[in-house]
């Protein structure tokens, strides 16, 4: 008895790698934190930060009551380069700028902000009344879970979704505006209300590989950018190390009319993109040109980090010092070939949500994707409901490839 009580007392944070998984760990908080990760002392926070950059995805269970303010303070603490919020009445440092919910943007329907802490976004599926957990906005909110059916070129049939329980990777991505702002260091994602974890769906890769991945409905999938780099052929490693990825101006509006490949890695090139002269005002100096490989600050490993849907061109330094540029179609095809091996089932961490899970992921070291179909799949053909709090904050500095 005495033994078990002393075991329950935790003086410091503990980090436990997920068993049998390609990446990820769970973390338990020390007692003094009172179950609020924003209360961690300097030593324990340093341990947490190293765990995030080493294991790439950290799960802290039991955080259902975490306040939006604590989530914001925790998220911000991972990146000392974050500029102080400007008094501009906008999202105040959120990872996306003011075009975030532009009516032509592919992100327009993805959520709403917590009024008291606008850097924290409310994401999910369904209608939530003013008094329900996670909705402190004092009004009814309506959330729409992104479904591949509105984003992919070829979509699953109703029969495949509702009877065969198939789904797709919605969009593999890094959380980032990719215009004007620098990619956030981490994203924190808190599951406040989630559907029962007993229901499963199967990812249909639909690319002739025969690959399939069974996961909990609504699982968030992650892959390691370090593993993706490691899987490249030597010549592709050299290509990646010498390539700069140029993103489109207002990229989510640029790709608004276009459709994605069935694996969610990139867009199909059919000339449907919004022409540059029809985009909201933009300036060349804000166009993002980022290395294709980002060095992990803790492990020093190279991570292949590309947003395959938002890219515009690839510029590759040749051995003779000249630069070769691939156009939009060529760039998408090249990036797809580089990224595809890393999303094979054995490399994917599919996090099935339990209520209260706080997931902290190293946004500069993983790619992630929403999965799952929530429409008409619950009891009595009702929509499943889900409510999450998400926070990420644009960094003050762009990521770097130290080996370039
Ligand atoms: Fe995301």
**What are the pLDDT digits (tens) for 15-24?**
999 999 989 9
- Residue ranges with CB less than 5 Å from ion ligand 1: 175
Cα separations (Å) of 61 from 28, 70, 189, 192?
A: 8, 15, 12, 11
In the reported structure, the alpha carbon of residue 225 is separated from the centroid of ligand 1 by a whole-number distance in angstroms of 15
Tell me whether residue 39 is exposed, middle or buried, using C-beta atoms within 10 angstroms of its C-beta: 0 to 12, 13 to 18, 19 or more: middle
Alpha carbon distance 106, 309 (integer Å): 11
Give the mean pLDDT of 172-201: 94
In the reported structure, the alpha carbon of residue 391 is separated from the centroid of ligand 1 by a whole-number distance in angstroms of 10
pLDDT at residue 196, rounded to an integer? 80
- Angle, helices 328-339 vs 234-241, to 10°: value is 130
Q: Is residue 267 part of a domain?
A: yes
In the reported structure, the alpha carbon of residue 300 is separated from the centroid of ligand 1 by a whole-number distance in angstroms of 24
**pTM confidence score:** 0.94
In the reported structure, the alpha carbon of residue 369 is separated from the centroid of ligand 1 by a whole-number distance in angstroms of 7
In the reported structure, the alpha carbon of residue 4 is separated from the centroid of ligand 1 by a whole-number distance in angstroms of 40
Q: What is the DSSP letter of 100?
A: T
Average pLDDT, the chain: 92
Give the 3-state DSSP-derived string for 42-56, with helices as H, strands as E and coil as C.
HHHHHHHHHHHHHHC
Q: What is the DSSP letter of 123?
A: E
In the reported structure, the alpha carbon of residue 174 is separated from the centroid of ligand 1 by a whole-number distance in angstroms of 6
pLDDT at residue 92, rounded to an integer? 54
Q: Is residue 324 part of a domain?
A: yes
Q: Is residue 389 part of a domain?
A: no
pLDDT at residue 3, rounded to an integer? 43
In the reported structure, the alpha carbon of residue 227 is separated from the centroid of ligand 1 by a whole-number distance in angstroms of 19
For residues 203 and 262, the answer to whether their CB atoms sit within 8 Å is no
Is 100 a residue whose pLDDT tops 80?
Answer: no
In the reported structure, the alpha carbon of residue 9 is separated from the centroid of ligand 1 by a whole-number distance in angstroms of 35
In the reported structure, the alpha carbon of residue 189 is separated from the centroid of ligand 1 by a whole-number distance in angstroms of 9
Alpha carbon distance 328, 314 (integer Å): 8
Give the mean pLDDT of 170-181: 97
Classify each residue of 146-180 as buried b or exposed e, where b means 16 or more C-beta atoms within 10 Å of its C-beta: bbbeebbeebbeeebbeeebbbbbbbbbbbbbbbb
pLDDT at residue 274, rounded to an integer? 98
Q: What is the DSSP letter of 282?
A: -
Q: Is residue 210 part of a domain?
A: no
In the reported structure, the alpha carbon of residue 368 is separated from the centroid of ligand 1 by a whole-number distance in angstroms of 6
Alpha carbon distance 259, 48 (integer Å): 38
In the reported structure, the alpha carbon of residue 31 is separated from the centroid of ligand 1 by a whole-number distance in angstroms of 31
Q: Is residue 257 part of a domain?
A: yes
Q: How many CB atoms lie within 10 A of CB 347?
A: 16
pLDDT at residue 382, rounded to an integer? 72
Q: Is residue 243 part of a domain?
A: yes
In the reported structure, the alpha carbon of residue 21 is separated from the centroid of ligand 1 by a whole-number distance in angstroms of 21
Q: Is residue 286 part of a domain?
A: yes
Task: Give the model confidence (pLDDT) of 215-253 as tens digits.
Answer: 999 999 999 999 999 999 999 999 999 999 999 999 999
Enclosing domain of residue 232? 226-341
Q: Is residue 295 part of a domain?
A: yes
Q: How many domains does the structure of the chain reveal?
A: 1
In the reported structure, the alpha carbon of residue 393 is separated from the centroid of ligand 1 by a whole-number distance in angstroms of 12
Token representation of residue 130: 């003013």
């Amino acid at each position: 008895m005495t033994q078990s009580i002393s075991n329950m007392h935790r003086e410091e944070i503990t980090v436990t790698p997920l068993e049998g998984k390609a990446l990820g760990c769970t973390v338990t908080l020390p007692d003094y934190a009172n179950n609020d990760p924003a209360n961690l002392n300097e030593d324990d926070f340093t341990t947490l930060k190293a765990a995030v950059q080493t294991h790439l995805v950290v799960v802290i269970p039991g955080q259902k009551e975490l306040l939006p303010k604590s989530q914001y303070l925790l998220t911000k603490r991972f990146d000392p380069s974050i500029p102080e919020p400007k008094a501009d009445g906008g999202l105040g440092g959120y990872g996306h700028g003011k075009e975030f919910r532009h009516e032509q943007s592919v992100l327009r329907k993805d959520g709403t902000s917590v009024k008291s802490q606008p850097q924290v976004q409310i994401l999910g599926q369904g209608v939530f009344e003013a008094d329900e957990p996670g909705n402190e906005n004092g009004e009814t909110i309506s959330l729409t879970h992104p479904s591949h059916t509105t984003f992919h070129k070829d979509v699953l049939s109703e029969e495949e979704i509702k009877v065969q329980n198939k789904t797709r990777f919605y969009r593999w991505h890094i959380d980032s505006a990719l215009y004007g702002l620098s990619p956030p260091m981490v994203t924190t994602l808190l599951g406040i209300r989630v559907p029962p974890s007993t229901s499963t769906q199967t990812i249909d890769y639909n690319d002739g590989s025969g690959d399939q991945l069974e996961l909990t409905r609504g699982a968030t999938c992650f892959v390691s950018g370090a593993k993706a780099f490691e899987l490249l052929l030597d010549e592709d490693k050299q290509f990646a190390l010498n390539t700069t990825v140029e993103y489109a101006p207002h990229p989510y509006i640029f790709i608004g009319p276009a459709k994605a490949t069935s694996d969610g890695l990139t867009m199909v090139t059919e000339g449907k993109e919004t022409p540059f002269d029809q985009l909201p005002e933009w300036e060349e100096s804000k166009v993002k040109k980022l290395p294709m490989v980002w060095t992990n600050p803790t492990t020093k490993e190279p991570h292949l980090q590309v947003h395959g849907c938002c890219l515009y061109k690839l510029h590759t330094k040749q051995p003779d010092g000249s630069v070769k540029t691939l156009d939009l179609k060529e760039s998408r095809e090249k990036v797809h070939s580089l990224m595809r091996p890393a999303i094979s089932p054995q490399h994917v961490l599919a996090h099935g949500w339990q209520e209260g899970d706080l997931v902290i992921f190293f946004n500069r070291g993983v790619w992630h994707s929403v999965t799952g179909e929530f429409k008409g799949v619950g009891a009595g053909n009702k929509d499943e409901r889900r409510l999450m709090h998400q926070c990420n904050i644009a960094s003050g500095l762009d990521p770097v490839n130290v080996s370039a």
